[in-house]
Amino acid sequence: MDGTQFGELLRAHRNRRGLTQRQLADLATLSVRAVRNLELGKAQRPRQETVRLLSEVLRLNDSRRAELESAAYAPVPVGRRGIGESVAPPAPTAPMVGRIAELDGLMRMLTVDGHRSLSIVGLGGVGKTRLALELAGAVHAGCGWPVLWLPWQALSGREAGGRRLADLPIGRLLPEAAEDPRRALAALGPLIGDAQLLLVIDGSDADGEQAAAELAGLLQRCPRLRVVVTSRAPLRTAGEQVVPLGPLAVPAESVAGAAELARIDSVRLLVSHVHRFHPGFRLDAATAPAVAAICRRLDGVPSALAHAAEWFLTEGPADLLALATHSPLILASSPSGVGQHADARRHLGRSLAALPEAGRRVLERMGGRAEPWTVAEAAGPAPDPAGYAEATRAVHGLLVHGLLRETADGLRRRFTVLNLVRALTAERPVGAGAGPGAGVPVPVGGV
């Protein structure tokens, strides 16, 4: 809102009616201070009910009422709203485990290389939002840029993490964002103008095409804007820099000592979550082998490790390793059914269903192999150049979607299908939907 314009209109209408500030306040059931702040432009974004009461007390006709409402809710450029450096991203609720190299690379791309559009892509639950939060905080603290955080899939005015969208800066600046984040994105152009600002669009999976169209126009209208998007797949906009995010590192079979395991990111994350449910848990010679194996079975996927930690409330590491060996998708799902990625089958199924046909064929061909394989092996016996190129594109797409893990092997790149993905493809065909009948955990072994 342009507070000055609204205040001037309010004062003019009050004087026209011959009312003092106190009289107007009494008639509108407001405080004198509230009326004074509105007229001085100090009060931002009055409630719709307040504007309605003022309009009725001032006996405004339809055109003057519309003019007052327009002044109350029209967005203005960043500089005039005084956003400046004070607009910060949401604060993380816990320290980030690992991802130092990824964070450094993203910071360099934004602040040194000058890229304006980054997309962090990968499997649901792999930690895209958490990394984006860390990146946004680092940019805000290190560069002084204001940061606007837009949870794209916000529903009913609430962010996925439980915060009311209206409590975020973008919700206060654009109340329409609380109802539909797409409307907020369309309205951001005049709000940002030529200000240097970072916009984070978190979770654009559901409406990727619409988000891409809105984002392309926004980047053209705002020359100093930087955008970071988190999504399962690239938006494919002009200038988009795609940054695939894979799972955390898992311990090799040869690593068995508790001290050495405690330095591996996936183990650190699992143990930190276990402490929430079992404060006395210790990673020692007795528990370390099972914990390391659980991390391998769950591929180091952060959401899977977080859900696995919930099971430690009722079971020990050895029993949970048995479950991870025979039914990893159950252990990777929340026993309480709470959380954005509570059902591993469901959110993995969405990624598989979005694959092109060539990617599905490679998954079907290589999904049963636990040992690493090459692109040449994925292409099949004696492929022609076109077949090899198709296999290369398919493997590239699977990596971007976060369904493969790369294995270091000298000069040759080798890959494995994630264990969780192999478990899901063994249950149902690749590309099967994730609808109401899919992804219902079947208890195994009395769990």
**pLDDT tens, 103-113?**
999 999 999 89
CATH code linked to domain 353-427: 1.10.10.10
Span 215-272, pLDDT tens digits: 888 899 899 999 999 999 898 888 999 999 999 999 999 888 999 999 999 999 999 9
The domain spans of the chain are 3-74, 81-244, 258-331, 353-427
The answer to whether 125 touches 131, Cβ cutoff 8 Å, is no
The band of 180, judged by pLDDT with boundaries at 50, 70 and 90, is low
Amino acid identity, residue 189? G
Give the burial class of 428: count Cβ atoms within 10 A of its Cβ; 0-12 exposed, 13-18 middle, 19 or more buried: middle
Write the CB contacts of 173 (distance below 8 Å, at least 6 apart in sequence): 75, 81, 83, 148, 191
| pLDDT of 154 | 54
| pLDDT of 193 | 83
CA distance 81 to 75: 9
Q: Does residue 351 carry a pLDDT above 60?
A: yes
Structure tokens at 348: 């993995």
CA distance 49 to 43: 15
The class that CATH gives domain 81-244 is alpha beta
Q: Is 308 helix (H, G, I), strand (E, B) or coil?
A: helix
Amino acid identity, residue 130? R
Domain at 3-74, CATH from 1.10.1530.10, 3.30.70.1400, 1.10.260.40, 2.60.120.10: 1.10.260.40
Write the CB contacts of 372 (distance below 8 Å, at least 6 apart in sequence): 407, 409, 414, 415, 416
The gap from C-alpha 112 to its chain's centroid, in whole angstroms, comes to: 24
CA distance 119 to 227: 8
| pLDDT of 428 | 67
Q: Does residue 443 carry a pLDDT above 80?
A: no
CA distance 41 to 35: 10
The gap from C-alpha 368 to its chain's centroid, in whole angstroms, comes to: 31
CA distance 162 to 158: 6
Span 182-221, pLDDT tens digits: 667 777 888 888 888 999 999 876 566 777 888 888 899 8
Q: Does residue 51 carry a pLDDT above 80?
A: yes
Structure tokens at 388: 């090899």
Structure tokens at 229: 């998007």
CA distance 273 to 250: 16
The band of 102, judged by pLDDT with boundaries at 50, 70 and 90, is very high
Write the CB contacts of 383 (distance below 8 Å, at least 6 apart in sequence): 376, 391
Q: Is 217 helix (H, G, I), strand (E, B) or coil?
A: helix
Residue 196: DSSP 8-state = -
Q: Is 385 helix (H, G, I), strand (E, B) or coil?
A: helix
| pLDDT of 291 | 97
The answer to whether 404 touches 378, Cβ cutoff 8 Å, is no
Tally helices (H) and strands (E) across the chain.
22, 7
What count of other Cβ atoms lies within 10 Å of the Cβ of residue 436? Answer: 8
For the segment 130-151, the average pLDDT, to the nearest whole number, is 91
Span 283-334, pLDDT tens digits: 999 999 999 999 999 999 999 999 999 999 999 999 999 999 999 999 999 9
The band of 78, judged by pLDDT with boundaries at 50, 70 and 90, is very low
Distances (CA, A) of 143 to 79, 88, 198, 219, 240: 17, 12, 10, 20, 22
CA distance 428 to 9: 64
